[in-house]
Amino acid sequence: MNTAPFHASFAGRSCGRLLAIVVACSGLLGGVLHAETADRDKPMHAEADALRYDDAKQLSVFTGNVVITKGTIVIRGGRVEVRQDSQGNQFGVVTGTPTEQAFFRQKREGLDEYIEGVADRIDYNGQADTVRFEQRAVLRRYRGATLADETAGSLIVYNNVAETFTVDGGPANRTASNPSGRVRAMLTPTPKPPADGKPQPAPATDKATLRPSGQLQGVGR
């Protein structure tokens, strides 16, 4: 078995099967969590120890220290599966390793903000436009390099269309510091302009501000 690391840069390739992989993976990476518009036009780069592509199933499987980048998007995991259905909808599954969780990061549209999440498994549903962080899930929002919000639970589902997220606790979320497995969240208010009324950089609008839905439950103190 060839154990040499696999590396591919998909910009400008015309080979039919590799192009199919690009189309499928671009669906996983494009348009999630209010992606920078420019991300959709950036080439996708993938590194892994191995790649298996099944044309009949429209399935690409990257394994071994997988790193995928596309513009501002970064995905890391021990295994990444990308599938496309007959209607052109894309579905992705990222799983971690025994020592490192799956990782997702992306810049938000028009803002100096980033969404970053880790979990044992991350699922992207292109048809529903949702991202699921399952098992020991943590979702963070950064303003520049400063952590603004952090939410932890056993399951976090981000709905890009509704701009809401839900968090569930449970046994899978139990740790030494959180034996009850309850949801824990730290949410920072959007900074307000100074009282002197001097012009300041425009803060994030309500639409752009990541907010929990009414289903957020069990916030720990």
pLDDT mean over 204-214: 48
- What is the per-residue pLDDT for 66? 95
Q: Which of 107, 105, 101, 25 lies closest to 58 in space, CA to CA?
A: 25
Domain limits of the chain? 6-194+207-212
The fraction of the chain above a pLDDT of 70, given in percent, is 66
pLDDT in tens, 71-107: 888 889 999 998 888 887 778 899 999 999 999 888 8
Q: Does residue 174 register a pLDDT over 50?
A: yes
Ranked by mean pLDDT, the top range of 65-69, 126-130, 184-188 is: 65-69
Look at 47-61, 130-144, 192-206 and tell me which has the smallest mean pLDDT: 192-206
Q: Which of 71, 70, 52 lies closest to 6 in space, CA to CA?
A: 52
Q: In this structure, are residues 83 and 58 in contact, taking their beta carbons and an 8 Å threshold?
A: yes
**Is 6-194+207-212 in CATH node 2.60.450.10?**
yes
Q: Which of 96, 92, 32, 14 lies closest to 58 in space, CA to CA?
A: 92
Question: What is the pTM assigned to this prediction?
Answer: 0.69
pLDDT in tens, 22-51: 444 545 555 444 545 566 667 778 899 999
Q: Work out the number of other CB atoms within 10 angstroms of the CB of residue 171.
A: 8
